[in-house]
Chain A
Amino acid sequence: MVAVTQATARERDASHADAITIPAERLPELGGPVKMKARGLKLWYSDKQALAGINLDVPERKVTAFIGPSGCGKTTFLQCLNRMNDTIEGVRIEGDVTLDGADVYDRSVDVVQLRARVGMVFQKPNPFPKSIYDNVAYGPRIHGLATNRGDLDGIVESSLQRAGLWNEVKDRLGEMATGMSGGQQQRLCIARTIAVSPEVILMDEPCSALDPISTARVEELIDELRDNYTIVIVTHNLQQAARVSQLTAFFHLGRLIEVNDTAEVFQNPGESMTKDYITGRFG
């Protein structure tokens, strides 16, 4: 009995391997402005190809979720959006990624400016071993966003408020950020990203290291931030993707298998592979 199940699973995997990445002309209509766009994006880590020509449109001021099994390329693709892959040895990239129509891999683009516009929140909370205040003020300081202490105080306060953290920390801004709870640290990292006024916020499994209550707080926050920012979130938690996102993209083995309105993907998936994944048959 077990053997039979395994055999069918292997057959299904084999048929999945034949699936192709979505061509640009088959991308869904977004019904709104496109913030970021990828066309034919291929990426190799040394000899190993990790992305097989991804075409994807990221809608402005919406939450786009990337789902898929481990090693499917969703985090790799996310890192292409603000060129965090640049720091990795042996990475080769082909294809286009555009932000407001301008190629982010163009020679004229300053990666520093790009990352100020496309911020990133990481899987594990990574506050600097500095005070809460200095953590949030870090970005504004290096980008010279504040001319005096008053401006800087204002940026710090509004960022913390937007991240829903102000009331918890307003009396202890001078304390070490590393002394906060994991959930608070992650919201601080979001506040730190917001402080440089990015247009896009990339989140790489932002809740995977958090407990359910902290996760709920961060999800609420993501929902609030959508009014002002374009958000792309990678998640292993399918319920989370269903809760927070408006658009869902399903990746598998370096290919984009399906992308559509979140409700559509979860209730009426167009591809059998997507259906298998979200119903827990593989992945």
Chain B
Amino acid sequence: MSLTFFTIVLLGLACTGYVMGRRRAMALARSQTAALHSRPVYHGWYVALACGLPAIVIWVAALTIGDQLIESAIIASLPQELRDASGPVLNRFLADAETLAKGGQPAIDVTPALVAASERFGNLRTLEHWIGFAGALGLGLIGFGLAYRRLSTALRVRQPVERLLMFVLLLAATASILTTVGIVFSVLFESIRFFSQVPIFEFLFGLQWSPQIAMRTDQVGSSGAFGAVPLFAGTLMVTFIAMLVAAPIGLMSAVYLAEYAHPRFRAGAKPMLEILAGVPTVVYGFFAALVVAPALRDAGASIGLLVASESAIAAGSVMGIMIIPFVSSLADDALAAVPNALRDASLGLGATRQETITRVVLPAALPGIVAGLLLAVSRAIGETMIVVMAAGLAANLTANPLEAVTTVTVQIVTLLVGDQEFDSAKTLAAFALGLVLFIITLGLNVIALRVVQKYREKVE
């Protein structure tokens, strides 16, 4: 009795319920003098839900309880030496019995005991499904009958149906929030485990970052150092370079588009600028690594400057180009939201266009612009692909943008790539770095929102 079959039967039942409920309601409306309290559609939904919901609940409950019962029944039938085996071995055995029952290839040797267990497993599974199916179908039919018989013109079915609909919408609305909360907590707990191995002070203020831990005790070096300052410094430098590129270009293009451009030019140029935001970051990444970085290195060499082939400036400038659309699009929106009455007022006082822009339009749009810049910064901090490809892996603590630096995001990637025990300090360090990233970007977004809010209060 497969899940697919169950779903089809249940859907069929619910659809029949819907159609019959609706038809009954319309018949009632015709035959009786009293008007329907709820529209026929609600009656249909009422019957459909009355048979569908209990059936689903019973099906899920039957499978959950059934699985428990099957497991204990199989364990009870096992030979003595297996029953006394340690937890992992027993679990392995049960998992393989299940695999064999489904026709898969078990990982351990096929013994008579395993075959017997798997056969038993298969039989019980079938029984369980039949019982669950019968129960679900029975309860569904009972629900159908009860609901169908209750239908009358006076029945207030709209309220329960709408309440259920609201509940579904609420579930959808909270899904992303709950997911976020779940992610935050998992990151938080793993970070706490990390900080039990590496002191938080050393992590936040240490100047040495070399997360390689010796796999064997006789290995040379590699004692592991988790001072994240070089990563923070690298992130900061790349972000700073990116904003140095993105902020002026983005703002100036926004001012041109919003204040000077012919509407026809604006209509064409704005979507084009926004296409830049749609280029996958990995494309920017290899552009940075294969075009910009070598070009910068050669240009540096020709004037006697030593530029590393993986440099902060290459990664930062390409990242800056990537976030230009964010800055310009948000700033353009902020400028366009400034009422024309203010421009007219300024021009009417004899201000030039440039005075009007710098003294009236930009200040009025400033909160929106600042919010846009902050969002761009948090985007730059979290950006991964470009820096992985173009910034390098060496945790240099340097103020020279021509050298290779590494960032928080790059290190998270390198920490999790490759074979590592999950509870080693090296792996857990990724969670601690993730937590820091999360806190910083969250802080930036909160500030951005506050700025916008404060501005609204000021104007209204």
In angstroms, how far is the closest chain A Cβ from the Cβ of B381?
31
Chain B residues with Cβ below 8 Å from A87 are 343-344, 347
Judged by a CB distance under 8 angstroms, whether A84 is at the interface is yes
Within 8 A of B (CB), among A115-165: 115-117, 119-120, 122, 124, 126-130, 138-139, 142-143
In angstroms, how far is the closest chain B Cβ from the Cβ of A206?
13
In angstroms, how far is the closest chain A Cβ from the Cβ of B257?
16
Shortest Cβ distance from B350 into A: residue: A116
Chain B residues with Cβ below 8 Å from A176 are 458-459
Contact check, A196 vs B459: say whether CB atoms are below 8 A apart: no
Digit string of A159-180 for contact with B (CB within 8 Å is 1, else 0)?
Answer: 0000000000000000010100
In angstroms, how far is the closest chain A Cβ from the Cβ of B339?
7
Judged by a CB distance under 8 angstroms, whether A82 is at the interface is yes
Knowing A142-B355, A176-B458 touch, does A126 contact B345 (C-beta < 8 A)? yes
Interface size on B, residues (CB 8 A): 22
Within 8 A of A (CB), among B251-269: 263
Q: How long is the Cα–Cα vector from A176 to B458 in the complex, in angstroms?
A: 8
Shortest Cβ distance from A121 into B: residue: B348
Chain A residues with Cβ below 8 Å from B342 are 126, 128-129
Judged by a CB distance under 8 angstroms, whether A274 is at the interface is no
Q: How long is the Cα–Cα vector from A124 to B341 in the complex, in angstroms?
A: 8
Q: How long is the Cα–Cα vector from A84 to B181 in the complex, in angstroms?
A: 55
Of B349, B363, B459, most buried by chain A (CB within 10 Å of CB) is B349
Judged by a CB distance under 8 angstroms, whether B57 is at the interface is no
Contact check, A193 vs B341: say whether CB atoms are below 8 A apart: no
Digit string of B338-371 for contact with A (CB within 8 Å is 1, else 0)?
Answer: 0101111111111110010001100110000000
Shortest Cβ distance from A125 into B: residue: B341
Partner of B350, one of A112, A124, A126: A112
Within 8 A of A (CB), among B327-343: 339, 341-343
A-B pairs, 10 with minimum CB distance: A116-B350, A120-B348, A126-B341, A115-B350, A139-B349, A126-B345, A112-B350, A142-B351, A142-B355, A129-B459
Chain B residues with Cβ below 8 Å from A89 are 263
Can you list 26 contacts pairing A with B, beta carbon distance less than 8 Å? A84-B344, A84-B348, A112-B350, A112-B352, A114-B350, A115-B348, A116-B350, A119-B348, A122-B341, A122-B344, A124-B341, A126-B342, A126-B344, A128-B345, A128-B346, A129-B458, A138-B346, A138-B349, A138-B351, A139-B350, A139-B351, A142-B351, A142-B359, A143-B350, A178-B458, A193-B349
Chain A residues with Cβ below 8 Å from B347 are 84, 87, 115
In angstroms, how far is the closest chain A Cβ from the Cβ of B255?
17
Given pairs A84-B347, A115-B348, 20 additional interface contacts (CB within 8 A): A82-B348, A87-B347, A112-B351, A113-B350, A122-B341, A122-B348, A124-B341, A126-B341, A126-B342, A126-B345, A128-B345, A128-B360, A128-B364, A129-B458, A138-B351, A138-B359, A138-B360, A142-B359, A176-B459, A189-B345
Q: How long is the Cα–Cα vector from A130 to B338 in the complex, in angstroms?
A: 14
Chain B residues with Cβ below 8 Å from A139 are 349-351
Chain B residues with Cβ below 8 Å from A116 are 349-350
Shortest Cβ distance from A193 into B: residue: B349
Judged by a CB distance under 8 angstroms, whether A192 is at the interface is yes
Chain B residues with Cβ below 8 Å from A115 are 347-350
In angstroms, how far is the closest chain A Cβ from the Cβ of B303?
44
Chain A residues with Cβ below 8 Å from B263 are 89
Contact check, A192 vs B341: say whether CB atoms are below 8 A apart: no
Chain A residues with Cβ below 8 Å from B345 are 122, 126-128, 189, 192
Contact check, A130 vs B352: say whether CB atoms are below 8 A apart: no
Shortest Cβ distance from A124 into B: residue: B341
In angstroms, how far is the closest chain B Cβ from the Cβ of A172?
15
Chain A residues with Cβ below 8 Å from B352 are 112, 142
Partner of A119, one of B349, B359, B363, B458: B349
Chain A residues with Cβ below 8 Å from B339 are 126
Q: How long is the Cα–Cα vector from A192 to B349 in the complex, in angstroms?
A: 8
In angstroms, how far is the closest chain A Cβ from the Cβ of B198?
50
Q: How long is the Cα–Cα vector from A89 to B460 in the complex, in angstroms?
A: 31
